[in-house]
Amino acid sequence: MRQYRHPQEDEITLTRVLAALSDPVRLSIVAALSRKGECGWSAFDTCVSNSTLSHHMKVLREAGVICNRGDGTRCFVSLRPELDRAFPGLLKSILAFNKQDEGEADLCEAPAARQPAS
């Protein structure tokens, strides 16, 4: 299995982490990992193609939010503990606000369908 480069702890920046978490699909991946812990790559129900999911995983990995672990032909993903050491409480706060903002909306809905009516 291919080994991916993960940034060192001192390479993780707040700007890159926040940019990575700015996408609803990536935020849903992080929320799932926060709830479930380590998951197999195929366990994410995000309603995006595998190539798009792969791109989102790459953005999260390169920002230092997640790490990948290979086991045979399977790939497992988990949150990096270094993230909470670098930015204590950041992920917990963002996920709490996201839960309030989104109201546990279905990620398969079109963004316009999730916005409250004026």
52: domain CATH number? Answer: 1.10.10.10
Question: What separation in angstroms does the CA of 112 have from each of 10, 99, 103, 109?
Answer: 38, 18, 15, 8
On whether residue 4 sits in a domain, the answer given is: no
Give me the residues of the chain with pLDDT under 70, please.
1-2, 100-118
On whether residue 13 sits in a domain, the answer given is: yes
On whether residue 113 sits in a domain, the answer given is: no
Q: What is the DSSP letter of 72?
A: T
On whether residue 112 sits in a domain, the answer given is: no
- Looking at residue 47, what is its pLDDT? 82
- Looking at residue 111, what is its pLDDT? 43
At position 43, the amino acid (one-letter code) is A
At 18-28, the pLDDT tens digits run: 999 999 999 99
Asked if residues 75 and 40 have their Cβ atoms less than 8 Å apart, the reply is yes
| Residue count of the chain | 118
What is the value of pTM for the model shown?
A: 0.79
On whether residue 3 sits in a domain, the answer given is: no
On whether residue 109 sits in a domain, the answer given is: no
- Looking at residue 117, what is its pLDDT? 45
On whether residue 78 sits in a domain, the answer given is: yes
On whether residue 90 sits in a domain, the answer given is: yes
- Looking at residue 74, what is its pLDDT? 85
CA count, 13 A, side-chain hemisphere, 22: 8
- Looking at residue 76, what is its pLDDT? 92
Asked if residues 61 and 67 have their Cβ atoms less than 8 Å apart, the reply is yes
Question: What is the span of the domain harbouring residue 71?
Answer: 9-95
- Angle, CA of 65, 68 and 70, to the nearest 5°: 175
Q: What is the DSSP letter of 25?
A: H
Percent of the chain with pLDDT over 70: 82
- Angle, CA of 8, 12 and 17, to the nearest 5°: 140
